[in-house]
């Protein structure tokens, strides 16, 4: 079975889209090819790396990339994970299914290390729930119709 290609888009490609990419690869890498990019890449956020490490997923090797890098590629799904990325999402070839998941920007959190980590953990957990729902929905949409022929 051919893996579906999924691109997660955010503004900075530093936290939300990186966590979503890592989660999809971890939870269903056998069924999906995941990538992430940003409209204005800001570098990988160390708090995102730590939040993911806490649940056993290593994204420390991820690179913050510009969305332009992927403009010539065909994706089955393009998922924006912040409102600003949705507003400036480019058009991709092949008319992929566009989805929008709005999450608060954990990189905007202030305070102590623990206070900031609490925000990253909350957003990570919200993203994980959405990724799990996405995986389930995709399985339903691609499963053969019983008795069909």
Of 33, 42, 55, 89, the catalytic one is: 89
Of 19, 82, 117, 119, the catalytic one is: 82
Residue 61: active-site member: no
DSSP assignment of 25-92 equals HHHHTTTEEEEEEESS-----HHHHHHHHTTT---TT----BGGGGTTS--SEEEE-SHHHHHTPPP-
Residue 11: active-site member: no
CA–CA dist 65, 62 (Å, integer): 9
Of 6, 10, 67, 123, the catalytic one is: 10
Residue 117: active-site member: no
Active site residues: 10, 82, 89
């Amino acid at each position: 079975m051919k893996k579906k290609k999924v691109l997660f888009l955010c503004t900075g490609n530093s936290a939300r889209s990186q966590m979503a990419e890592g989660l999809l690869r971890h939870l269903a890498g056998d069924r999906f090819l995941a990538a992430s990019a940003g409209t204005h890449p800001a570098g990988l956020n160390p708090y995102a790396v730590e939040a993911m490490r806490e649940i056993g997923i290593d994204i420390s090797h991820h690179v913050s990339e510009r969305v332009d890098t992927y403009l010539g590629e065909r994706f089955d799904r393009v998922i924006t994970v912040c409102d600003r990325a949705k507003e400036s999402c480019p058009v991709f070839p092949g008319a992929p299914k566009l989805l929008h998941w709005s999450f608060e920007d954990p990189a905007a959190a202030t305070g102590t290390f623990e206070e900031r980590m609490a925000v990253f953990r909350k957003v990570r957990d919200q993203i994980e729930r959405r990724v799990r729902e996405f995986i389930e929905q995709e399985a339903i949409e691609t499963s053969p119709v019983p008795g069909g022929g």
